[in-house]
């Protein structure tokens, strides 16, 4: 019989994995020996976190990231044809969202391989549901442009969409968070709403939704934090 693909949730940081990942998911993950992962080192670190005795040396890891070509992943599903199950893991959160895992999941569907999602944390969804903004109509936009002129134009575009009633979700790398925040409050209108959800599920978690005018008076320090922005 053909094996199954399991979409394995990973913590968003921190050591207390039992607070955010169900025990049944952890138990299933411990049984797997084949993994398709965004980053091998972080995947091994997570497996050792949930099980100090996890047999890393007896496991096979296929790396799938933005540098992986289509020709390189053609053999990644071979273990399934021999009846072995495979787990897909992002560096953090759920695979397939802001993550290259979607590429291999698409191939699995083409081959009629069963894909099984497992419950766990997603910073994108957690930020949206805790923002108080529109959870009925929303868009996830990934990372915004790095160049200031392009970034400003993109923020204006997202604000226009937000004013049509669609919450706009986006993110940035920790070391560029502050520059993005400065661009947002400089570009957006004072009555536009902005949620900043930082370090979700971690002890340092902070979630606040205010209009731009209020953010100008209460500028946060976002350096080295994992942040999701929601605009409306």
pLDDT score of 28: 97
pLDDT score of 65: 83
Asked whether 169 and 127 are in contact (CB, 8 A), the reply is yes
Q: Which domains does the chain have, with CATH numbers?
A: 5-117 (3.40.1010.10), 123-231 (3.30.950.10)
pTM of the model: 0.90
Element (H, E) at 31: helix 23-31
Burial degree of 39 (CB within 10 A; 0-12, 13-18, 19+): middle
| pLDDT surpasses 90 at 212 | yes
| pLDDT surpasses 80 at 68 | no
In this prediction, residues 205-221 reach a mean pLDDT of 97
Nearest alpha-carbon partner for 9 in 80, 109, 132, 92: 92
| pLDDT surpasses 80 at 67 | no
Asked whether 184 and 222 are in contact (CB, 8 A), the reply is no
In this prediction, residues 78-105 reach a mean pLDDT of 91
Helix/strand/coil for 8: strand
| pLDDT surpasses 80 at 32 | yes
Q: Residue 223 to residues 70, 161, 177, 203, 226: CA-CA distances in angstroms? A: 35, 28, 7, 16, 9
Q: In what order do the strands lie in the sheet with 5-8?
A: 60-63, 34-37, 86-89, 5-8, 115-117
pLDDT score of 137: 96
Residues 100-157: tens digit of each pLDDT: 888 899 989 999 999 999 999 999 999 999 999 999 999 999 999 999 999 999 999 9
Mean residue pLDDT across the chain: 94
């Amino acid at each position: 019989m053909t094996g199954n693909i399991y979409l394995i949730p990973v913590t968003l940081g921190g050591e207390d994995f039992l607070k955010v990942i169900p025990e049944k998911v952890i138990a299933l993950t411990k049984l797997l020996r084949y993994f398709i992962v965004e980053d091998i080192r972080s995947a091994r670190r997570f497996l050792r976190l949930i099980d100090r005795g996890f047999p890393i040396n007896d496991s096979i890891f296929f790396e799938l990231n933005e540098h992986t070509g289509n020709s390189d992943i053609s053999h990644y599903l071979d273990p399934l044809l021999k009846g072995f199950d495979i787990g897909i893991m992002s560096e953090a959160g759920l695979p397939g969202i802001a993550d290259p895992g979607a590429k291999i999941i698409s191939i699995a569907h083409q081959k009629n391989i069963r894909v099984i999602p497992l419950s766990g944390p997603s910073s994108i969804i957690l930020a949206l549901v805790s923002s108080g903004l529109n959870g009925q109509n929303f868009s996830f936009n990934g990372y915004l442009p790095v160049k200031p002129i392009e970034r400003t134009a993109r923020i204006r575009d997202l604000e226009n969409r937000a004013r049509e009633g669609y919450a706009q979700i986006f993110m940035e790398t920790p070391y560029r968070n502050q520059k993005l925040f400065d661009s947002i409050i400089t570009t957006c209108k004072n009555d536009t709403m902005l949620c900043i959800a930082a370090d979700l599920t971690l002890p340092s978690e902070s979630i606040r939704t205010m209009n731009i005018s209020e953010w100008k008076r209460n500028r946060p320090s976002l350096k080295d934090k994992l942040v999701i922005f929601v605009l409306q």
